[in-house]
């Protein structure tokens, strides 16, 4: 249920922006409480750095991640409006391994608070797939886990996730103390993490042509946000808290284009305040079986061309670029939360563009079951590319 519901619900509240886009803004986006640690504060001259440049690094206590050294790297990236933002990634290095391959793993976040980003949640218990990072570490690989939702924790902003992922890899390779400058690089992730991963792969040829990717593995990818939005209504839903979080995240990233808070009634504004720093479990518990009908001041949904334009801009099926790196996509054929057909259509277009693609459908309906079923194959795919084996293509 967790990450999963998010993908369908990712757009539920982004729809609120459609009601009266032209109305004067009355409620501004509610951003997360900034992390008080100065390490997470952007320098005044951030614009002087190029995307992917290292701003600062530090070594942190590895805690329960035995056999690793852990470093955090602050770097310059850009938001969806091409404005400079400070990015962050946490890199786990296997002790005693020189020049290890590097996997950028886009973890499950589904949250609105800065403490929910991997740079914090790896150590505070909020990141549920943190133990999964230990499998690649056991293979002698380095793992980079970026805060791909950015400093405003813009949950749902897919293009942002792609940019942040690519710039985090640039930074990890640039940080000399990590010793990853010559490392092969793979990207991996599932669901929301799969979305950031697939977007990074598609954007790499134009956004980061300097960065060579050896392999990409992305599963459970929500490829068409508009289709997901149109399939939703105002009825109570067990995953409503994640839907609301996605709406708030999109508003944070597009404050001038998606004034979602203007479409909230007093109850909605209260819930926005109640959840603006929340992590996934809190959102799920307190949002269960609430509904858009309880929160929205208007039901005039999806009437705004601007709202639809933002959804298109963050839908992989509509993005004209295609990966050039070897990529494996896996998806449940009957997944009721992240539809199979848009990703299949995307895969077919990538094949036509010459992408070396392996598309692996699973005859499974439950979203997270597909994650478990596919990750073994995905890690084997990555390992084979690191070993220089022939790339399987299903086009």
- Integer Cα distance of 224 and 254 in angstroms: 18
pLDDT digits over 184-193, tens only? 999 999 988 9
- Integer Cα distance of 222 and 158 in angstroms: 10
Least-confidence region, from 19-28, 82-91, 380-389: 19-28
Q: Which residues have C-beta within 8 Å of that of residue 2, sequence separation ≥ 6? A: 108, 110, 128, 242, 280, 284, 368
Query: Is position 239 within any domain?
Result: no
CA dihedral 329, 332, 336, 337 (to 10 degrees): -40
**pTM higher than the cut 0.75:** yes
What pLDDT does residue 379 have? 94
Tokens of 26: 């009355």
Please give the tally of structural domains in the chain.
1
For residues 2 and 285, the answer to whether their CB atoms sit within 8 Å is no
- Integer Cα distance of 228 and 63 in angstroms: 40
Q: Predicted confidence band at 63 (pLDDT cuts at 50, 70, 90)?
A: confident
For residues 174 and 89, the answer to whether their CB atoms sit within 8 Å is no
- Integer Cα distance of 309 and 7 in angstroms: 18
Query: Is position 286 within any domain?
Result: no
Instruction: Indicate whether 229 pLDDT > 70.
Output: no
Instruction: Indicate whether 307 pLDDT > 60.
Output: yes
More confident residue, 106 or 130: 106
Query: Is position 235 within any domain?
Result: no
* Structural domain range at position 13: 2-18+29-224+312-386
Q: Which residues have C-beta within 8 Å of that of residue 184, sequence separation ≥ 6? A: 101, 102, 214, 385, 386
Q: What is the CATH number of the domain that holds 79?
A: 3.40.50.1820
Percent of the chain predicted with pLDDT > 90: 68
What pLDDT does residue 232 have? 57
Query: Is position 117 within any domain?
Result: yes
What pLDDT does residue 304 have? 74
Query: Is position 246 within any domain?
Result: no
What is the residue whose two structure tokens read 């010459």?
354
Strand order through the sheet with 102-106? 54-60, 68-78, 84-94, 142-146, 102-106, 185-190, 215-219, 327-332, 357-362
- Integer Cα distance of 56 and 37 in angstroms: 13
- Integer Cα distance of 33 and 117 in angstroms: 13
Q: What is the mean pLDDT of residues 52-74?
A: 95
What pLDDT does residue 221 have? 94
For residues 393 and 356, the answer to whether their CB atoms sit within 8 Å is yes
Q: Which residues have C-beta within 8 Å of that of residue 1, sequence separation ≥ 6? A: 238, 239, 284, 368
- Integer Cα distance of 177 and 77 in angstroms: 20
Query: Is position 287 within any domain?
Result: no
Query: Is position 100 within any domain?
Result: yes
pLDDT digits over 271-292, tens only? 999 999 999 889 989 988 898 8
Q: What is the mean pLDDT of residues 97-106?
A: 96
Q: Predicted confidence band at 3 (pLDDT cuts at 50, 70, 90)?
A: very low
What pLDDT does residue 128 have? 77
- Integer Cα distance of 103 and 381 in angstroms: 12
**Terminal Cα-to-Cα distance of the chain (whole angstroms):** 31
Q: Predicted confidence band at 10 (pLDDT cuts at 50, 70, 90)?
A: very low
Query: Is position 120 within any domain?
Result: yes
H helices present in the chain, as ranges: 2-9, 118-124, 134-138, 158-174, 192-207, 225-230, 240-253, 266-275, 280-287, 292-295, 305-313, 340-352, 367-386
Closest CA to 149 of 272, 28, 279, 17: 279
Instruction: Indicate whether 237 pLDDT > 90.
Output: no
What pLDDT does residue 131 have? 67
Q: How many residues does the chain have?
A: 395
Q: How many of the other CB atoms lie within 10 Å of CB of 36?
A: 8
- Integer Cα distance of 45 and 24 in angstroms: 33
Q: What is the mean pLDDT of residues 237-259?
A: 88
What pLDDT does residue 21 have? 36
What pLDDT does residue 15 have? 39
């Amino acid at each position: 249920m967790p990450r999963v519901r998010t993908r369908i619900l990712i757009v539920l509240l982004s729809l609120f922006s459609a009601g009266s886009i032209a109305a004067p803004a009355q409620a501004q986006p509610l951003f997360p409480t900034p992390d008080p640690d100065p390490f997470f504060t952007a320098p005044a001259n951030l614009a002087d750095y190029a995307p992917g440049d290292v701003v600062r690094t530090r070594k942190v206590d590895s805690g329960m991640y035995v056999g690793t050294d852990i470093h955090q790297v602050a770097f310059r990236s850009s938001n969806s409006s091409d404005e400079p933002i400070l990015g962050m990634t946490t890199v786990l290095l296997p002790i005693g391994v020189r020049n290890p391959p590097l996997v950028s793993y886009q973890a499950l976040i589904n949250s609105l608070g800065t403490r929910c980003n991997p740079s914090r949640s790896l150590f505070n218990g909020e990141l549920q797939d943190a133990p999964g990072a230990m499998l690649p570490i056991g293979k002698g690989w380095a793992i980079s886990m970026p805060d791909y939702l950015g400093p405003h924790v813009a949950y749902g902003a897919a293009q942002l996730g792609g940019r942040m992922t690519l710039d985090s890899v640039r930074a990890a390779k640039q940080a000399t103390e990590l010793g990853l400058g010559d490392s092969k690089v793979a990207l991996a992730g599932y669901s929301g993490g799969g979305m950031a991963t697939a977007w990074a792969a598609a954007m790499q040829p134009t956004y980061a042509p300097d960065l060579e990717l050896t392999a990409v593995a992305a599963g459970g990818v929500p490829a068409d946000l508009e289709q997901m939005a149109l399939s939703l209504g105002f009825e109570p839903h067990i995953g409503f808290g994640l839907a609301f979080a996605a709406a708030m995240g999109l508003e944070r990233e597009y404050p001038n284009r998606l004034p979602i808070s203007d479409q909230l009634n007093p109850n909605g504004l209260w819930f926005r305040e109640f959840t603006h720093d929340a992590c996934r479990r809190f959102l799920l518990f307190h949002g269960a079986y609430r509904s858009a009908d309880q929160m929205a001041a208007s039901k005039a949904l999806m009437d705004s061309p601007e709202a639809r334009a933002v959804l298109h801009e963050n839908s992989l099926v509509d993005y004209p670029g295609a990966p050039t790196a070897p990529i494996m996509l896996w998806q449940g054929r009957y997944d009721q939360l992240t539809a199979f057909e848009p990703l299949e259509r995307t895969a077919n277009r990538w094949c036509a563009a010459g992408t070396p693609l392996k598309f692996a459908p699973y005859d499974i309906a439950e979203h997270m079951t597909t994650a478990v079923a596919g990750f073994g194959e995905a890690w084997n795919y990555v390992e084979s590319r690191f070993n220089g084996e022939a790339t399987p293509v299903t086009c």
